[in-house]
Structure 1
Amino acid sequence: MKLKVIALSVALLAGGAAFAQSIDTVAKVKASGVVTVGVRDSSGALSYTLGDGKYVGYHVEICNRIVANLEKAAGRKLEVKYQSVTSQNRIPLVQNGTVDIECGSTTNNATRAKDVSFLDTTFVEEVRIAVKANSGIASIAQLNGKNVATTTGTTSVQTLRKNERATGVDFKEVYGKDHADSFLLLESGRADAFVMDGSILAGNIASSKNPADIKIVGEVLSVEPIAIMIRKDDTAFKKIGDDTIRAMIKSGELAKTYDKWFLEPIPPKNVRVGLPVSESIKAAWATPNNKPMEAYVTK
């Protein structure tokens, strides 16, 4: 019995050591020689796929800079693997070590901050409504009795329900498994509107078959800080990430990266998203921080 207890204690200690190791990304990648970057297939100009395992976008480019500095800290060349994640699995995959850094379109909020850490805010999102250009819909009040799409596992689900309660408008929620699927619900007529981050809406419209057929309308439903996500309490890696972002802000590189992805033609169709930098984003860059969404709520 004593031997079993000793064996169990050793196993628990080993497990604890393994967990401690797992939240030290610098040590993890130094040992393995591999860093896994979580990316999105259709998160507008923030993160999207060109096919054949190639991912690009504003957050992907920032993450590539962070990974370059991670290599310096690890003291070795790293193999970079891109792992497609969804709204539903992105946080668990960061927590369990499958993904080392998530470079998509994740809102930093207080609930999520209990499970993961966020780097300094690089984008501030406004949740908006996209509709068919000929629909006649111009605000959330006109969605009564309509089918409204959003993406499973996103904060826009809560935003949608909150606005439904506040306005008394009664609409049916329909869900896409990812942003491309949600956009298709609108594009195909199975939904009358798609409620999501404005950048994601704009990016999907710009890359659609007929961009002029869809437009963004109505009031801003929510303002949310969007940030790159890493494991909780990963102090060394968070410093690398934050230092990289702050250096890009100071040099003007972050502003140029923003313009590249939101104001200039982007692949694969060389169309412009056309989303100028907002005052909220400028404020986040002026005083770098990782304040959660709740800090953006006006009383």
Structure 2
Amino acid sequence: MAFGNGEAIRQIGEQLGRALEDLSALKQQVSDQQLAIDQIRFDTTAAINTGLTENRAVIRDGLTRANETISDPLTQIGSELVAIRSGIGQLDNQIRAAAAGAVHRPAPEPPEEPEAAPIEDQKPAEPEPEPAPEPEPEAPRQVEHDLETLRAAAGISAATLHAHRDTWEFLVKHAGRDQHFHVPGEVQDVVGAVIVKVSGPSLVAILTSLGGIKDDPGVAPGTQAIAHHLHRRIADTVKAIAVSRHTGGSADPVTIVIDDRPAPDDGSDGQSERDPDD
């Protein structure tokens, strides 16, 4: 009987041992599954974050390209519209001036025929004096000087112009009709001012157009004053390049700034500028 109880206890012990082994194996499986679940969660989170980052980059790049595609043509169209508007205004002024001249110009009166003098009072006609020789014009020196400035402007690859938007509109309005003027593809707007890359041919067109306006007595005084100041400022920059011309990438780019300001109180940081024509 005692032998039977010992055998039963041994069997129970073996069963408990196998149960513990099964429990340990089950715990290992649960731990492995938990690790697998954690790895899956980590990989899923990383994939989601990576996908969101790539989507943001793609969306941002698409918005940037769309902005460039839309804003640049709109800027160019705006500049061309300004040039067209100025041309229409100039043509309208010419038509009105021609119409006003045709209305107010009196018809020429026929010349009165002189009465024939009696035969006895007629005297042989005196020979007409020879006309005095016309003085030689003194303009060739100034013309040659202007041509040198224009040649120096033509040699500039690109000049950066800093000016107010109204000043740029004035230049486009009056130089836009010249065959050598080209509207830049990009006009940067910086707090009310514009930064424009102007080519050498466009500088030639601007100097030529402004030179004709500033020397035309029939132009309004305000327009003449603006044209005179801009012509002098641009011409001074071009003349400085003509005096010390340099070609190559080591030279500083040409910059024209239209932004006159009052000199500081101590006079240390500013230089006064006097118009040579004053």
| Structure holding more helix per residue | 2
TM-score bracket, normalised by the shorter chain, equals under 0.3
Q: Which has the higher contact order (CA 8 A, sep 6+)?
A: 1
Q: TM-score, normalised by structure 1?
A: 0.20
Q: Which has the larger radius of gyration?
A: 2
Q: TM-score, normalised by structure 2?
A: 0.21
